[in-house]
Structure 1
């Protein structure tokens, strides 16, 4: 059965998405990046998705990450 994905985080900064993705990976949560930025003007968002089964754990980790910044 195919896992369904849910949008968990959005940013304009790729480094921020990569930091969060790394933190999720360290906690055994697989995530996927969808970069919707225009390559010429850097307009648009970068989105991070996780499996719907991992939403609660991922949100808790991201909340801790945001509070530590």
Structure 2
């Protein structure tokens, strides 16, 4: 991976990682998923990265979504 990318999210839930990636990209924040899970047994982690120049925006967007979820 190129330099200057920040690990923003680590999860075991592939759907959560993909939804977060799509949400970030819809708001103009490029994101990359690296799936380190074993393909047969689904253990391991999935990591989501954003460029360091977009880290603050990405964290803000994720915080907004999490805050909205807790209000429901």
TM-score, normalization by structure 1: 0.89
Gaps of 5+ in 1: none
**Aligned equivalent of 2:58:** 58
User: 5+ residue gaps in structure 2?
Assistant: none
Paired residues in the alignment total: 68
* Structure 1 position 67, deviation (Å): 2.5
Measured in 1, the distance between the counterparts of 2:33 and 2:4 equals: 15
Cα deviation, residue 23, structure 1: 0.7
> Which whole-Å CA distance do the structure 2 matches of 1:45 and 1:56 have between them?
23
Runs of 4+ that moved beyond 6 A: none
Equivalent position of 2:48 in the other structure: 48
